[in-house]
Amino acid sequence: MRKFAVFSGFLGSGKTTTMMALTRYYSAYHGKAAMISNDLGEGVTLADDRLARLSGVNASQITNECICFCHDVLTQRLNEYYDSGCDLVVSDIPGFGVGALEHVYHGLSKEYPDQFDLGPFTVLIEPRNAEILRSGQGDDMAYILHAQLMEADLIVLNKRDLLEPAELEADRAWLADHYPKASVITISAMTGEGLEELSQALIRDKASMKHPDIDYEDKNLQNAMDQLTEYYLEYVAQVCCNDFDGTEYLSDIARMVQAELQAWDYEIPHMKLLAWEPEGDYGKVDLLGVNRPIEITRRFENPCTDIAVVLNANAACPAATLDEIIQEAVNVTSRLYQLELRLFKKECFNLGE
């Protein structure tokens, strides 16, 4: 089997966590798997890829371009994985992912016919966004979620650990009812529930290669794209004292960014802060919106001395403002913790430009 499947879905829905859990689970029980993290920053270290590799997952990244438009790079990477014994490879997609079915699946099958077994085009959704869709609120957001789900062969309702059984069943049934061309499964990438069902779907099912009726020029989609800024920051920090708590440091930066964006009425669907030290200990903090609690996805196990930090964000905020807010939060927090910073790389751009 030379199975390849794209994992689409809204920012923060759990694509990376799911691909990590699936790659690990599949490799333990079914065969060898690998995951690719794809994003637009040029020559950057992606927090998602570094996180996957720090946690021991068979992972790599493709940067600079969406896999929608670099089929040669993607094909070469996939062939390397299959040649090394993998039979399942999954990749995510940058931004909102809308259009990936056409560009990746139809594009690949035209340019490289019969080279890969395309698995179900997989779209993740989290309960909070299922709720937005079901309630019909939030024009831009609802249209993006709807367009994503229209592309799906397989809908994965993730974070089922956050729902009561009755709520879970209501969301599942609603999704199955409104997107009858897709199958719907529910998982928790965090607890591992549903990973066998997800593995079976990927092994068994094929891409439908449908052409969903999506208006790519839709004003809600264009509007959301125009507002979205991508941010990549990489630096190293030297720590002066031996009781430095890396997790608290990352959380404080996230809190400051959140407060500023909230004060200016901007939104941040996802900011990831990942830091690691030379021995391989690492911490990760996620900010999933101005009104949601900051999530500590992983705590450093020990106090650390030198750390490398990667911060990646997607925000509905002008690029210059986001840059100012994040830079200020990093500088102020680092001074408080008496860290000495050395900047490696920064990229900040608006997707609509």
Ligand X SMILES: Nc1nc2c(ncn2[C@@H]2O[C@H](COP(=O)(O)OP(=O)(O)OP(=O)(O)O)[C@@H](O)[C@H]2O)c(=O)[nH]1
Residues that bind Mg ion (CB under 5 A): 15-16, 48
From CA 88, how far away is CA 205, in angstroms rounded? 13
Residue 158 or 334: the one with the smaller Cβ distance to Mg ion is: 158
Residue 82 or 121: the one with the smaller Cβ distance to Mg ion is: 121
Which member of 16, 58, 63, 251 binds ligand X (CB under 6 A)? 16
Residue 90 or 304: the one with the smaller Cβ distance to Mg ion is: 90
Q: What angle, rounded to 10 degrees, do the helices at 139-151 and 219-227 form?
A: 110
Using the rule CB under 6 A, is 24 a contact of ligand X? no
Which member of 4, 35, 38, 48 binds ligand X (CB under 6 A)? 48
Residue 187 or 239: the one with the smaller Cβ distance to ligand X is: 187
How is 313-342 classified by DSSP, letter by letter? EEEES-HHHHHHHHHHHHHHHHHHTTEEEE
Using the rule CB under 6 A, is 11 a contact of ligand X? yes
Using the rule CB under 6 A, is 159 a contact of ligand X? yes
Residue 7 corresponds to which tokens in the numbers above? 């994992």
In the chain, the amino acid numbered 78 is L
- Binding region for ligand X (CB under 6 A) out of 130-138, 156-164, 177-185, 214-222: 156-164
Residue 89 corresponds to which tokens in the numbers above? 């490879």
- What sign has the CA pseudo-torsion 51, 314, 297, 15? negative
User: Per-residue x/- mask for ligand X, residues 170 to 199, rule CB under 6 A?
Assistant: ------------------xxx---------
Q: Which of 146, 206, 187 is nearest to 14 (CA)?
A: 187
CA atoms within 13 A on the CB side of 106: 10
Which member of 14, 99, 246, 283 binds ligand X (CB under 6 A)? 14
Using the rule CB under 6 A, is 327 a contact of ligand X? no
- Binding region for ligand X (CB under 6 A) out of 6-14, 73-81, 109-117, 321-329: 6-14
Q: What angle, rounded to 10 degrees, do the helices at 319-336 and 246-263 form?
A: 140
In the chain, the amino acid numbered 310 is V
Radius of gyration of the chain (CA): 20
Residue 126 or 153: the one with the smaller Cβ distance to ligand X is: 126
Residue 75 or 297: the one with the smaller Cβ distance to ligand X is: 297
Which member of 115, 220, 223, 297 binds ligand X (CB under 6 A)? 297
From CA 77, how far away is CA 7, in angstroms rounded? 17
Reading phi first (left if > 0) and then psi (alpha if -120 to 50, else beta), residue 315 is in beta
Which member of 65, 117, 161, 197 binds ligand X (CB under 6 A)? 161
Residue 15 or 50: the one with the smaller Cβ distance to Mg ion is: 15
Q: How far is the CB of 39 from Mg ion (least distance, A)?
A: 8
E-only strand ranges, 10-95: 33-38, 59-62, 88-91
209 binds, among ligand X, Mg ion, none (CB under 5 to 8 A by kind): none
From CA 253, how far away is CA 190, in angstroms rounded? 24
Residue 128 or 178: the one with the smaller Cβ distance to ligand X is: 128
Using the rule CB under 6 A, is 162 a contact of ligand X? yes
Confirm if 256 and 330 have CB atoms less than 8 A apart: no
Residues 229-288 binding ligand X (CB under 6 A) are 270, 286, 288
Q: Report, in this order, helix, strand and coil percent for the chain, each rounded to 5.
A: 40, 25, 35
61 binds, among ligand X, Mg ion, none (CB under 5 to 8 A by kind): none
Residues that bind ligand X (CB under 6 A): 9, 11-17, 48, 158-159, 161-162, 188-190, 270, 286, 288, 295, 297
